[in-house]
Amino acid sequence: MSPSLRMSHLRKSYLTKEGAVVRAISDLSFELNAGERLAILGPSGCGKTSCLRILAGLDEHYSGVIHWATNLSQDASRLRSATVFQGDSTLPWMSVEQNIAIGMSGLTLDAASKRKRVEKYLDLVGLRDFARVFPHELSGGMRQRVAIARALATEPLLLLMDEPLAALDAQTRLVMQTELHRIWAQTRSTVVYVTHDVDEALSLSDRLLVMTARPGREKAMMGASFDRVMEPLERRSLPIFAQMQAKIWGLVAEEVGQKLTRETAP
């Protein structure tokens, strides 16, 4: 696999209303290969979402370097990145196909090309029969499939997912994990996946980045130790899954404990 992007020495700070400086991210570096899925875990407030916002181009106030392997200045038919958010981001006044098409509004595609992409990604997420249905007529899992199709229809270099399954019930979440794996197997998208769920990270990623408590930096980077085409339920059946699960929980719990100690210190 060839590198898709390289992040070097990323630092991010915020200024509170009281004028205090809060360091969110401290010296974070990693390289992401094309077609790779990287899961990011860590305690609340460690900078996971800040990192995603920077990669999405939603926050330009940071220090460090992000180098993209592909220059899109000559190709306006795709986005550098597209994001799937935790909450329901479908537009209630638009049908499913309109929700998917709206993501391509800034791309230089003619009407026929946009229509072809809408149909392609409707098929990919299994919603072809619901193309003209409105979001209120869909289940939570189906609405999240719409959001995923909308992001994929822009054919981004990087797909960013910010806890995309967190709002779903446990059963739907397991089904959607299998769906996400199936979609990745067909698109081979390059993905950065933020989650608090260790099982989900192990089920869906090729590598895992565990971040320290704020200011966030790398605590550990590890491979998921599975055949990357193996489905989530197959991964969970292996003894190594439980071993890695325990190891990662230990790393995260250590950082949560340090965070609580700092916050409660006199």
Angle between helices 140-153 and 170-187 (to 10 degrees): 20
Burial grade of 216 (CB within 10 A; 0-12, 13-18, 19 or more):
buried
pLDDT digits (tens, 9 = 90+) for 41-79: 999 889 999 999 999 999 999 999 999 987 665 567 888
pLDDT digits (tens, 9 = 90+) for 85-98: 988 899 999 999 99
Q: What is the pLDDT of residue 17?
A: 86
190/155 Cα distance (integer angstroms): 10
Q: What is the pLDDT of residue 37?
A: 96
Domain boundaries, the chain: 1-72+190-266
174/73 Cα distance (integer angstroms): 39
pLDDT confidence tier of residue 243, bands split at 50, 70 and 90: very high
Q: What is the pLDDT of residue 261?
A: 59
pLDDT digits (tens, 9 = 90+) for 153-204: 999 999 999 999 998 888 999 999 999 999 999 999 999 999 999 999 999 9
pLDDT confidence tier of residue 1, bands split at 50, 70 and 90: low
Question: Which among 53, 87, 253 is positioned nearest to 165, based on CA atoms?
Answer: 87
- pLDDT over 80 at 249, yes or no: yes
179/79 Cα distance (integer angstroms): 23
| Structural fold of domain 1-72+190-266 | Rossmann fold (3.40.50)
What is the rounded average pLDDT for all residues in the chain? 91
Angle between helices 170-187 and 111-124 (to 10 degrees): 130
pLDDT digits (tens, 9 = 90+) for 213-234: 999 999 999 998 888 889 999 9
239/134 Cα distance (integer angstroms): 43
- pLDDT over 70 at 111, yes or no: yes
